[in-house]
Chains A and B, each alone.
Chain A
Amino acid sequence: MTRGGKNVLSRRRVLKTGGAMAAGAAMGPLLLTERTIAQTRTIYVNTWGGSWTAAEEAAFFKPFTDATGIRVRTVAPVSYAKLKAQVQSGTYEWDVTGINQSEWLRAEREGFVEPIDWTIVQKDKLFPNAVFANGIAYCALGTNLAYRSDKFPQGGPKSWADFWDVKKFPGTRSMYNNAPRTLIAAALADGVPIDKVYPLDVERAFKKLDQIKPHIKVWWTQGNQSQQLIRDGETDMIVMWNARASELKEQGHPVELVWNGGMVSTTMWGVAKGAPNRKLAWEFIQFAVQPKPQAEFCNRLFYGPTNPKAFEFVKPEVAKQMPTYEPNAKQMVVTDPDWEAANAAQLQERFTQWLAS
């Protein structure tokens, strides 16, 4: 049942944007036959499915195939566990993946990550801070406070302190079932400045969390669950990924994002250790982090480009919705992957226990 649940959920993710689903479904059977032919040069990319894969298709895969003749096939959804399973078993379903920076760092420390092939990747074509733990920065994701503007006609919450203030801002609240993000939000609510978050005072953060716990209606775990909650008015205020909130706003829902105190984390492109098509994979990643493709991707999904030059190709009104847009970025906490990688397991355990009690 566990496995089934996982699969169906991911299928739901695909369902989310109806159009892309057909393409995804058509790719399943293709994958097998393509592999058996194996004459042409092909790489396999692990992706989320749905609108994410559709944006990748337009921004990266198609232009890359047009330019190089290397074909790209996708495998959904993104699975961190599969990275480990592939490397340990030596059987590869995909070569390239896009994974959160702190998870990528843990994978690198455990030896599941292919070192960057510097004979293919050209250093002078990269941007500052592009390389981390043998991965290359893909895009930036904000975890922000969002609220229903129709529920707060006098003006909504503007900070985590406001989120905690249930008298001044009455209404239902929902948070993300994720230890590091939630603890940072608590620390900020308690008055810690954004540049003094690390090293995080965990005790202080949990103490602050105790105050808000009775007011949290739902602790969500899936991105589409967070969208359902605020779209259907189940919650008036929520912790949410910036791109998910922008997507709702684009669809005409009264959702406002707060950049102040948002948390920005980076997704990394990387190659599974020993992946059969690793050379082609590095060629692909090199292509995907160039300004134009990055801008094409972020224009569609509102994630922030990691390559600063990408902003040249982003419309100003779209740029304002991105976490790496300078006026937004300077109000946000840059999450520390080292700290997260070192503390994730222990914090998640304590946090889950706190939630369940």
Chain B
Amino acid sequence: MAGVVAAPAGQAGLAAAPARGLPADSTPWLLLAPATLALVILFLLPIGYVLLLSVTDPAVSIAHYRRIFSVPLYTRVLFNTFTTALTVTGVCLLLGYPVAYVMARRSDWVSTALLICVAVCFWTGFIVRTYAWLVILGNKGPVVAVYQAFGFGAPPRLLFTTFSSILGMVHILLPYMVLALYSVMKKIDPNLLRASASLGARPAASFRAVYLPLTLPGVVNGSILVFTICLGFFITPILLGTPKDMMISQLINQQIEELLAWGFASAVAVVLLVATSIVLAVYNRFAGLDRLWG
């Protein structure tokens, strides 16, 4: 019955003949239609176009793909992109989990203060935060000043290293991880922990057996979010890192902006997309992406 009522809402023009000729279970599909249409037009078509460009611009051939896999630069940078994204995700998880834990478990000013810190971080432009690191780690920055005040001599090179590049990206992506974890942790019933304690579990055991498994959806969600966003980063490694920290989107950008080689840029983008899909598929096989939804 609900179907008959809802269907005309999607198709005002057919109101006179409610749902005739339409099976009752078509309603969900009709409701999905606007979203599907938006996805197709805004997402699938452009990606299809990129795929098409990669084999047709400037001529119909797979030469672009051959070049990607024969010139060492592209596979090397692609590999570096994935290892960097993985490192950043791992560090974000290690740093973000305790923060989210404290935020979720306490309900006093500590939780509020942490939430404000994370939110302010989240709302500040990433380019501003990247430049802030240039100052903090720079020659005239506080780190060097402290180092010299204690008479340790010349400070180690902090800026323009892989370390500063990773640091900058972790700083930018940490709020995503914390918020993803927090949203899941907040929903965990504290009584479950009390129950496990009453059954004799020590805090460590109760955390391992009860709390940690319940937070896994947040871990998966946050990790995938950070990992996929990180794959597209390039400004931060350019400004803070070395040429060895180059990310694949920097090469894509160079091909589009400086060389107008859109076909080749598309091919690199397709390879990145496929590689990302493979990583997620493998992940899904072993961990299950359905955990995303709790």
CA distance A6 to B249 in the complex (A): 11
Give B132-166 as 1s and 0s: 1 = Cβ < 8 Å from A's Cβ atoms: 00100011100000000000000000011000000
State which residues 243-288 of B face A: CB under 8 Å. Answer: 243-244, 246, 249, 251-254, 256-262
- Most chain-A Cβ atoms within 10 A of its Cβ — which of B140, B259, B260? B260
Contact present for B160 and A344 (CB under 8 Å): no
**A52-60, A154-162, A215-223, A307-315 - the one binding chain B:** A215-223
Contact present for A9 and B127 (CB under 8 Å): yes
Number of chain A residues whose Cβ lies closer than 8 Å to a Cβ of chain B: 35
Nearest B residue (CB) for A217? B160
- Whether A124 is near chain B, meaning CB under 8 Å from some CB there, is no
Give A225-237 as 1s and 0s: 1 = Cβ < 8 Å from B's Cβ atoms: 1001000111000
State which residues 144-193 of A face B: CB under 8 Å. Answer: 177
Give A1-24 as 1s and 0s: 1 = Cβ < 8 Å from B's Cβ atoms: 110111011001000000000000
- Whether A120 is near chain B, meaning CB under 8 Å from some CB there, is no
CA distance A96 to B239 in the complex (A): 31
Nearest B residue (CB) for A177? B243
Question: Which residues on the B side are within 8 Å of A67 (C-beta)?
Answer: none
- Whether B229 is near chain A, meaning CB under 8 Å from some CB there, is yes
- Whether B233 is near chain A, meaning CB under 8 Å from some CB there, is yes
Contact present for B139 and A356 (CB under 8 Å): no
Give A26-65 as 1s and 0s: 1 = Cβ < 8 Å from B's Cβ atoms: 0000000000000000000000000000000000000000
Nearest A residue (CB) for B261? A345
Give A134-145 as 1s and 0s: 1 = Cβ < 8 Å from B's Cβ atoms: 000000000000
Nearest A residue (CB) for B157? A217
Nearest A residue (CB) for B160? A218
Nearest B residue (CB) for A233? B139
Question: Which residues on the B side are within 8 Å of A225 (C-beta)?
Answer: 239
Contact present for B243 and A356 (CB under 8 Å): yes
Contact present for A2 and B71 (CB under 8 Å): no
CA distance A116 to B83 in the complex (A): 50
State which residues 98-131 of A face B: CB under 8 Å. Answer: 103, 106-107, 110
**A273-281, A289-297, A347-355 - the one binding chain B:** A347-355
Question: Which residues on the A side are within 8 Å of B160 (C-beta)?
Answer: 217-218
Contact present for A8 and B125 (CB under 8 Å): yes
**A68-76, A79-87, A198-206, A323-331 - the one binding chain B:** A79-87
Give B67-95 as 1s and 0s: 1 = Cβ < 8 Å from A's Cβ atoms: 00001110011001000000000000000
With known contacts A219-B243, A356-B77, A1–B139 Cβ distance under 8 A: no
Contact present for A6 and B253 (CB under 8 Å): yes
CA distance A344 to B259 in the complex (A): 8
With known contacts A81-B257, A234-B159, A348-B259, A2–B76 Cβ distance under 8 A: no
Give, as a whole number of angstroms, the nearest-CB distance from B85 to chain A. Answer: 12
- Whether B235 is near chain A, meaning CB under 8 Å from some CB there, is yes
CA distance A357 to B140 in the complex (A): 30
Q: When the two chains form the complex, which single residue of A221, A232, A352 contacts B251, counting CB atoms closer than 8 Å?
A: A352
Question: Which residues on the A side are within 8 Å of B257 (C-beta)?
Answer: 6, 79-81
With known contacts A106-B260, A217-B160, A352–B238 Cβ distance under 8 A: no
Question: Which residues on the B side are within 8 Å of A107 (C-beta)?
Answer: 260
Contact present for A352 and B258 (CB under 8 Å): no
Question: Which residues on the B side are within 8 Å of A2 (C-beta)?
Answer: 232, 234, 249, 252-253
CA distance A352 to B253 in the complex (A): 13
- Whether B122 is near chain A, meaning CB under 8 Å from some CB there, is no
Q: When the two chains form the complex, which single residue of B131, B140, B246 contacts A356, counting CB atoms closer than 8 Å?
A: B246
A5-B233, A103-B258, A348-B258 known, 16 other contacts, Cβ within 8 Å: A1-B233, A1-B249, A2-B249, A2-B252, A5-B235, A6-B253, A8-B126, A9-B127, A12-B127, A80-B260, A110-B260, A219-B243, A225-B239, A232-B140, A233-B140, A348-B254
Q: A residues near B, CB below 8 A?
A: 1-2, 4-6, 8-9, 12, 79-81, 84, 103, 106-107, 110, 177, 217-219, 221, 225, 228, 232-234, 344-345, 348-349, 352-353, 355-357
The contact sample of 22 A-B pairs, CB cut-off 8 A, is A1-B229, A2-B232, A5-B126, A5-B127, A6-B257, A9-B127, A9-B235, A79-B257, A80-B258, A81-B256, A103-B258, A177-B243, A219-B243, A221-B238, A225-B239, A348-B254, A352-B254, A353-B76, A355-B246, A356-B73, A356-B80, A357-B76
